[in-house]
Amino acid sequence: MYIFTALSLKNRALIALVTVVAAVFGLIGVGSLKQELMPSVQFPAIAVVTSYPGASPEVVNKDVSGPIETALRGVTKLESTTATSSTGASMIVAQFEYGVDLSVTEQRVERAISRLSKMLPQSADTQVLSGSIDDFPVIQIAVAPQRETLQKILRS
């Protein structure tokens, strides 16, 4: 380590030149980097949402969630499913392996659900949903009255 220190002190001009060159290349490199505030991320998950009006959570679980989960097991590259049954609704989230083509997998899930539609209750309405971070709004704008205006309205 002593040798590098001594060499650096003897060749100050060379060390300054190397520092300036490294800084210039660093600035050029930073300028050419691709930067995104919100990168496009697509999680390998598909949600199957079913409405079954008037049914209790137990009936929804038995008549809707169970058969759909069974049908989803036949879709390739499926890792896990999570079902939530509530009064009049069922939501099943199917998670797949990373790197899977989500549009093709969504079509396979829709085919599996369409084959199952004869076994589901007639009043059950099923939707297959997938999305990414790009589907969320970038800016949300809200308008609210000023505090004084709100106080005047409340006094009237």
Q: What is the pLDDT along the chain (156 residues), one digit of tens a residue?
A: 788 888 888 888 999 999 999 999 998 888 788 776 666 677 889 999 999 999 999 999 999 999 999 999 989 999 999 999 999 999 999 999 988 888 899 999 999 999 888 888 888 899 999 876 566 666 667 666 666 665 666 676
Kindly state whether residues 59 and 106 are assigned to the same domain: yes
In whole angstroms, give the CA distance from residue 148 to residue 40: 42
* Residue 101: domain span: 45-131
Distances in Å between the alpha carbon of 37 and those of 40, 41, 74?
10, 12, 38
Kindly state whether residues 54 and 114 are assigned to the same domain: yes
Domain total for the chain? 2
Kindly state whether residues 17 and 52 are assigned to the same domain: no
Question: Are the CB atoms for 90 and 72 separated by under 8 Å?
Answer: no
Q: Is residue 36 part of a domain?
A: no
Strand partners, 89: 51, 86
Kindly state whether residues 121 and 67 are assigned to the same domain: yes
Kindly state whether residues 25 and 71 are assigned to the same domain: no
Q: Is residue 92 part of a domain?
A: yes
Kindly state whether residues 62 and 125 are assigned to the same domain: yes
Q: Is residue 153 part of a domain?
A: no
Kindly state whether residues 12 and 66 are assigned to the same domain: no
Q: Is residue 127 part of a domain?
A: yes
pLDDT of residue 64: 93
Q: Is residue 73 part of a domain?
A: yes
Distances in Å between the alpha carbon of 57 and those of 32, 68, 91?
55, 15, 11
Kindly state whether residues 54 and 97 are assigned to the same domain: yes
Domain of 49, CATH number, reads 3.30.70.1430
pLDDT, one tens digit per residue, over 118-128 is 888 888 899 99
Kindly state whether residues 54 and 112 are assigned to the same domain: yes
Question: Are the CB atoms for 128 and 48 separated by under 8 Å?
Answer: yes
